[in-house]
Amino acid sequence: MGTATSEIEVLRAVAIDCYRAAVRNVAFYAVELDREVTARYRESLSRLEQNAETADGDAMPALLRGYRGQALAYVNRLCGQIAETAGSLRRILDSLAEGDGDYEGRMRGALARLRALARSDGAADLRGPLLAAAAAIQQGLDEMCRRQEESVARLLEDIRTLHKRIDSLESAASIDMLATLLTRAEMEERMQSPAAPARRLLLLGAAGLRLAETRFDSQVATQLAAAFLKRLHRVLPPESAIGRWSDEEFMVLLPAGEEPAAQTEKRIEDQLSGSYACARDGKGVRPSLQVHATMLSAGQAAVPA
C-alpha cells in the first residue's frame, strides 16, 4: 500500500512539473501585443505556475481564451487603422487630382494664348523665341504630368495592397474567432452557474452553412461561418458569450437588457441574413445565410438536447 501511495505521489509531482513547464512555454511564446496587455497575461501565467498544485483545470484554457480575444481585438484595431490610412491616402489623391486638373487646365490655356500671340502679326519678330518657349513649357508640363501619373499609379497600387492586407488580416482574425466559441459543456456551465449574472438566452439558426460546404467546399464553409461570427460580434454587446451547438446552431448568452425580445430577434435576423463575401481558388464567391433568432426568457432558458 505504501509503495502504491509513493508511486502516486511521484506521478502527481511529475504531472505538476509538466503542467508548470507547459505554462512557462505558453508564457514564453506569447505573441507580443500591447506591452501592458502582454505583461498582465504573463503575470497571470506566472501566478498560475506558482499555484500549479491547487490550480483549477480550466484556469489555463480560460487565460488562453482571454488572450486570444485580446489578440483578435488588437488585430481588428490594426485593420481599422490600416483602413483609415488607406482612406486618407485616397482622399489626398482625389484632392491632388482635382487641384492638378485645375492647374493643368490653366497652364494649357496660357500656352494656347502664348502660341496665338506668337502667331499674331504684331509679334512677327518674336515668333521664333515665343514658339520655342511655348514648346519648352509644353514639354516640361507633359513630363510633369507623366511623372505625376506614375506617382498616382504607385500610390493607388499601395492603396490596393493595403486593402488586400486588411482583407487578409480580417479573414485570419475572423477564422480565429471560431476557436473562441464556447463548447456545449462551457455553455451549460455558464447557464447553470448560480453565481452568473442575469442573462437572456438567444438561439440562432444559420441555414446555409452546410449548403456552402456542399456547393463549394469546407474552406468556403469555414470562411462563411467566420464572417457570420464577425458580423454577429458587431451587433451584440461586448459582454455576450457565444457558443456553437451544432454545424448550423449557435447560442448567445446576452446581458439583461430592456430591448423587447421580438425587436432583438428581428434586428439580429435582418443584419445577419443575406450573402457573405468569401473566396475560393482566388475567386470571389457569395454564399448566403438565412438566420432565424429565438429569444428565451429566464424561465424558458434550458440547455437544448
* pLDDT tens sequence across 169-178: 555 555 566 7
Using alpha carbons, select from 141, 105, 134, 104 the residue that is nearest to residue 118.
134
Q: State the total domains in the chain.
A: 3
- State the pLDDT at residue 164: 64
Tell me if 256 is assigned to some domain: yes
Same domain, 99 and 146: yes
Domain co-membership, 163 together with 243: no
| pLDDT reported for residue 305 | 45
If asked whether residues 198 and 114 sit together in one domain, one would say: no
Question: Measuring CA to CA, which residue among 265, 251, 261 is closest to residue 190?
Answer: 251
For residue 204, the model assigns a pLDDT of 92
Domain match, 186 and 290 both: yes
pLDDT for residue 205:
92
pLDDT of residue 142: 75
Instruction: Show the cell assigned to 269.
Output: 435576423
Residue 252 CA to its chain's centroid (Å)? 20
pLDDT reported for residue 208: 92
Residues of the chain with pLDDT under 50: 298-299, 301-305
Question: Using CA atoms, how far apart are residues 162 and 72, in angstroms rounded to an integer?
Answer: 19
Domain extent, residue 141, equals 75-178
- Provide CB contacts within 8 A for 237, sequence distance 6+: 254, 255, 257
Residue 69 belongs to a domain: no
70, part of any domain: no
**Rounded to whole angstroms, how far apart are CA atoms 214 and 291?**
18
pLDDT at 100: 56
Q: What is the CATH number of the domain that holds 122?
A: 1.10.287
259 and 192 in a common domain: yes
Domain CATH for 224: 3.30.70.270
> Which pTM value belongs to this model?
0.48
Structure confidence at residue 123 (pLDDT): 67
Is residue 30 one of the residues assigned to a domain?
A: yes
For residues 93 and 154, state if they share a domain.
Answer: yes
Predicted pLDDT of residue 302: 47
Mapped onto helix, strand or coil, the DSSP state of residue 6 is helix
